Amino acid sequence: MTAPSPTTPTPPLWREALGRALRLRRTDLGLTLAQVSRRSGVSTQFLSEVERGLKDPSSEVIEAVAVVLGLELPQVLVLAAGVMDAGRFASATLTSIRSVQAAPTPPAAGQAQLSLAA
């Protein structure tokens, strides 16, 4: 494995990509950290650290935040993976995150929805 050249952008870490995806979704919905914290049961401090790419959240934390943001866990993972694939926080990825529509209520147990923009 070779090191990236100085002109090749270093891809973001997984936690950075995940945090970026969650923050963009939250701000696009007009929600504050405190609102998402209260609704998800995740502390404001920890949620802030996740969004800034400083902490690696558990799958349970990601799921709790995703529900509040009107997303299914697979959507969050695919959006964060898109940030990783881009190798940087590309505008195409940001557009994809913004175009995911929030579900008014979470789907019933056993139902899955995946709506991603191309």
- Both ends of the chain: CA-CA distance in Å? 31
Q: How far apart (Å, rounded) are the C-alpha atoms in residues 19 and 15?
A: 6
Six-digit token string for 19: 């945090």
* Identity of the residue numbered 31: L
Q: What is the mean pLDDT of residues 19-42?
A: 96
Distance CA 97, CA 93 (A): 6
**Residue-averaged pLDDT of the chain:** 78
- 107-117 confidence digits (pLDDT tens): 444 444 444 44
Which amino acid would we find at residue 14?
W
The per-residue pLDDT for 116 is: 44
- Angle at which helix 33-40 crosses helix 59-68, to 10 degrees, equals 110
pLDDT of residue 4: 57
Dihedral angle sign, alpha carbons of residues 23, 55, 104, 80: positive
When mean pLDDT is compared across 2-11, 21-30, 88-97, the lowest value belongs to: 88-97
Q: How many residues belong to the chain? A: 118
Q: Which residue has the higher pLDDT, 106 or 66?
A: 66
Domains (range + CATH), the chain: 14-99 (1.10.260.40)
pTM over 0.85: no
How far is Cα 29 from Cα 69, in angstroms, rounded to an integer? 8
pLDDT of residue 76: 93
Above pLDDT 70, what percent of the chain? 64
- CA geometry: angle 78, 96, 27, nearest 5 deg: 100
Q: Is the pLDDT of residue 18 over 70?
A: yes
